[in-house]
């Protein structure tokens, strides 16, 4: 992408989108919508497995938009006495928009699994990075990665 194309893209990205007063409101609405869609997708992937999905509400405060609080859906997957949590943690940071931390909760222990990103750089689809790999550019998140992540529910 040329410098001009990057500049024009940044200019376009800074403009309000649709019925929202500013880019931050549009990004919040997109994060909320994409989390709800991700939950629906997971329900489809898990259909017939006996693993229960639950929607939660997570309150975030984003200091890059004046410390405003807003709510984003989170997702819990439960199987027997274990749970995998998909918890929104921030809207903006380190070149990404919309970050979700995924962790396995079992036997009173919480084990970070990965982070999902709604948008990373020019990628507008969910990407993921394994826990502790903050410099990894991330790769596409899909059904195969999902089942690899939640395998700990069965261990």
Q: Is residue 10 part of a domain?
A: no
Report which of 48, 149, 147, 144 is spatially closest to residue 100, judged by C-alpha positions: 149
**Does residue 71 contact residue 58 with C-beta atoms inside 8 Å?**
yes
Task: Supply the pTM of this predicted model.
Answer: 0.82
Q: Is residue 114 part of a domain?
A: yes
Res. 29 pLDDT band, cuts 50 70 90: very high
pLDDT (mean) for 86-94: 91
Average pLDDT, the chain: 87
- Which among 122, 125, 131, 133 has a CA at the least distance from the CA of 41? 125
Distance (Å, whole) CA 69 – CA 28: 10
Hey, is 92 helix, strand or coil?
strand
Residue 59 predicted with pLDDT over 90: yes
Domain count, the chain: 1
Give the residue among 96, 17, 87, 100 at the shortest CA–CA distance from 64.
Answer: 96
Residue range(s) defining the domain that contains residue 113: 22-154
- Cβ-based neighbours of 37, under 8 Å, separated by 6 or more: none
Do 84 and 100 meet the contact criterion of CB atoms below 8 Å apart?
A: no
Has residue 12 been placed in a domain? no
């Amino acid at each position: 992408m040329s410098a001009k194309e990057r500049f024009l893209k940044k200019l376009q990205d800074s403009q309000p989108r649709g019925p929202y007063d500013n880019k931050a409101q549009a990004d919040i609405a997109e994060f909320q919508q994409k989390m709800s869609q991700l939950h629906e997708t997971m329900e489809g992937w898990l259909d017939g497995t006996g693993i229960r999905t639950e929607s939660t509400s997570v309150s975030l405060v984003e200091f890059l938009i004046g410390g405003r609080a807003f709510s984003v859906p989170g997702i819990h997957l439960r199987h027997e006495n274990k749970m995998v949590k998909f918890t929104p943690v921030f809207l903006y940071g380190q070149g990404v928009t919309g970050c979700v931390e995924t962790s396995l909760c079992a036997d009173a222990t919480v084990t970070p699994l990965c982070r999902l990103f709604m948008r990373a750089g020019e990628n507008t689809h969910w990407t993921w990075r394994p826990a502790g790999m903050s410099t990894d550019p991330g790769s596409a998140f899909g059904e195969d990665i999902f089942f690899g992540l939640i395998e700990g529910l069965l261990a």
